[in-house]
Amino acid sequence: MVTRSAIIFSASLLAMTAHGTAFAQETGAKSEADTDQGGLGEIIVTAEKRAENVQRTAAAVTAVTGESLVEKGVVDLRAVQSLVPSARFQQEGQSTQVFLRGVGANLDFANVEQVVSLNFNGVYIPREGTSAPLFDIERVEVLPGPQGTLYGRNAMGGTVNASFVKPKREAGFSGVLEAGNFDLFHGTAIANAPLGEHLAARIGVDYTHTSGYMTSGAEAKDDLAIRLGLLYDSNAGFDMYLWGYFVDKSGTAPNLVNKGTNPTTFAYDENAFLRPNPWDDTRTGALSALAPFGQPKAEDLTYKNYVAGSEINVDLSDNVTLTYIPSYFKLDLDYGYWLGGVPAYYEIGYKQTTHELRLSGDSDAVKWIAGAYYYWMSVEQDVRVLPGTPFEGIYFNNNKGIKTGIAAFGQVTYNISPSFRAILGGRYSSDKAEAAGISFMLQPYTFDRTFNRFDIKAGVEADIGPASMAYATFQTGYAPGTYNPFPATPGNDNLVKPAKLTSYTVGVKNRFLDDRLQLNLEAYYYDYRDLYIQAFDQSKLFNPIFNAAKVEIYGVQADLKLKPTRADTLSFSVSYNHARNKDFITPAGDNYNGLSPAYAADWTVSAEYSRDFDIGSHGYLRAQADARFESAFYADFIHNLGTRQQPYVKANASLTYFANNERWNLGAWIKNITNEPVIAATAFAGIPGPGTAYLEAPRTYGVRLGFNF
């Protein structure tokens, strides 16, 4: 068995001998190094709120370029999962549950916020907004571990940052057209125009149509997104980037299917689905007796999301910059769906404003950043089971939910010597939560609490070779307390205590063989206190949130990336993540010590290979294949029957012709080649049960045309 001490000792030894590296996966970078020297090139990231080479960032950043996202057919956040080690980016209705290294939040109820934050252009996006399409993207960055210093309350488990392509000072028109199975039509069109010496505008439109993955027609897409951008750059120390987008989804909502019952014997069978086709959510024929409330069907979906933001930068001197990032977010969502044979209804509305103001500076001895942050969020939610029947019940109701917060933060990197640096940071946060609604007992409840917290970061970096860096970091993060939706009494408070995470990481980053080989390693240990955790049992109207007193997580992430020739690229990563409850006994005396938290697989292994073939003077052909293995995991902390995902492998491939003038490309792709059914958000109970699960997409394939003029 891999032990924590062995992991950290091994990482420390590798750091001292310059043979390891922290995991920083670079995908799809195109640079002069690629063209002239055949090397791996570099990716510039802003994970720590300043632009720097990902290989010089003292953190396990996974960075993926927009070109690579298009080539791999990644059109939303969920599909990024295949590119990130030890991660689950999975569907729950129109939400995306994000788990990094076993840290995340399940269930899409308003009293459980994300603990891995998604940010668009530096703006926090609430959970139901995470299903917005990804298009015209500069890059996506994934940063695991608590980021309490720079990102605050929703980044206890890490951050996912997506940056849009900014307007450019040149006219251009580009896009993508795709067609595939399930009646797929997907089109993206981007127009860019200079509007003078200092001003440029950019507009993008993205549309997706599919028939439903589910046999009933559920999970069909009819999604439209429009994005606008305006960039003013004075070339004299002042620039302003304004952006906004609108998303309108009017397809059908996904349904959950039953898992864990043999359809022939009706005996428990953990890996069985009710139909030979796992995505068949109907109950016709011999299964009609399992449809007491009618046949599951495709329910209409209404989703409208409006977002606007900006980034303003002012150079106050040669090495001091003032940055201001305001934003506005509004979302209205409602749909019906089926939990196996049980109908349900989901409705939620958000309004949010955020403001971040920061100063940053850079000198020969010191890099620093200091800032203030404010947010206000309003959320109303109603989730019901068996709507419109005599058995209608409330799963969750919140007719008033207000969250506000302020924070002050700062971080300093000091050069102790030309090759050795120290990092120190801190953030003070004050978060207030107010709520009112109707409990499952049809009684009114209220909640009003304020939570104060100071998070810290301390670390060191050392250059240990011409292209090698070692680091060690200590940092903390927290999630504000929340509530259970029932009336508080003197003997039964509805408070759920804040969750806290303390992490220790060591790692190294290396480039060898004239920039052709990257070898990276990071080891980590997380002390996770008062994790708030909830399991969903659809046979119960009330599913309480508990605080798990202590969860211990430790592991390693390793990455190898090799470009032996200009035509070949090989990537391989392996992640071991040991997450277990150390002290988790519920008030009723149920003991879950020794069990893994939800969606925390021990092993994740992925590999990718691509090769370019010259086929004349006009272009080249790129063949690409990748595969990802994930060991078994459970979808809830109880390890209920029907909630276990068996180990699986998913593989994808593509073949694309690129014109040398970069004006167009044409390719074919296939995803989930073996049609592997993999669970996403999963609940206990059902008809017949024992579990009901959202499923990741089945095998899909298609052709793609890209153009750039």
Q: Which residues pair with 323 in a beta bridge?
A: 313, 358
In this structure, are residues 479 and 498 in contact, taking their beta carbons and an 8 Å threshold?
A: yes
For the chain, what are the domain ranges? 4-708
Residue 523's pLDDT is 97
* Sequence letter at residue 692: T
SS3 560: strand
How many Å apart are CA 436 and CA 433, to the nearest integer?
A: 10
**Rg over CA atoms, the chain:** 25
Q: Which residues pair with 226 in a beta bridge?
A: 205, 246
Residue 683's pLDDT is 87
> Looking at the domain that runs over 4-708, which CATH code has it been given?
2.40.170.20
Residue 72's pLDDT is 84
Which of 55, 147, 141 lies closest to 463, judged by CA?
55
Question: In which residue are the tokens 């490309």 written?
Answer: 665
SS3 338: strand
* Sequence letter at residue 257: V
Phi, psi of 237 (to 5 degrees): 90, 15
Residue 399's pLDDT is 93
In this structure, are residues 29 and 40 in contact, taking their beta carbons and an 8 Å threshold?
A: yes
Burial of 156 (0-12, 13-18, 19+ CB in 10 A): buried
Residue 182 C-beta-side C-alpha neighbours within 13 Å: 23
Helix (H) or strand (E) holding 422: strand 420-438
Identify the segments of the chain with pLDDT beneath 70: 1-38
Return all residues near 94 (Cβ < 8 A) that are at least 6 apart: 128, 131, 249, 253, 301, 303, 333, 335
Residue 587's pLDDT is 84
Burial of 684 (0-12, 13-18, 19+ CB in 10 A): buried
Token duo for residue 422: 């120290």
* Beta strands at 320-339 and 301-315: parallel, antiparallel or unpaired: antiparallel
Return all residues near 185 (Cβ < 8 A) that are at least 6 apart: 178, 179, 207, 208, 209, 210
Print burial letters for 78-105: b (CB count within 10 Å at least 16), e (below 16): bbbbbbbbbbbbbbbbbbbbbbbbbbbb
Residue 268's pLDDT is 94
Per residue in 91-128, pLDDT (tens digit) is: 999 999 999 999 998 878 888 889 999 999 999 999 99
Query: What pTM does this model have?
Result: 0.91
How many Å apart are CA 303 and CA 128, to the nearest integer?
A: 10
* Sequence letter at residue 533: I
For the beta carbon of residue 615, count every other beta carbon within 10 angstroms.
10
SS3 130: helix
Residue 38's pLDDT is 67
Which of 340, 309, 344, 343 lies closest to 327, judged by CA?
309
DSSP string, 512-537: ETTTTEEEEEEEEEEEEEEEEE---B
Phi-psi region of 101 (alpha: psi -120 to 50; beta: other; left: phi over 0): left
How many Å apart are CA 129 and CA 112, to the nearest integer?
A: 15
In this structure, are residues 355 and 404 in contact, taking their beta carbons and an 8 Å threshold?
A: no
* Beta strands at 158-164 and 116-120: parallel, antiparallel or unpaired: parallel
How many Å apart are CA 670 and CA 662, to the nearest integer?
A: 23
Per residue in 11-47, pLDDT (tens digit) is: 333 333 333 333 333 434 343 333 345 688 888 888 8
Residue 32's pLDDT is 34
For the beta carbon of residue 590, count every other beta carbon within 10 angstroms.
10
In this structure, are residues 634 and 647 in contact, taking their beta carbons and an 8 Å threshold?
A: no
Q: Where are the beta strands (DSSP E) in 66-198?
A: 87-92, 95-100, 116-120, 123-124, 137-144, 158-164, 172-180, 184-194
Local structure of residue 73 (DSSP, 8 states): T
Token duo for residue 76: 């939303």
How many Å apart are CA 693 and CA 690, to the nearest integer?
A: 10
Phi, psi of 83 (to 5 degrees): -100, -5
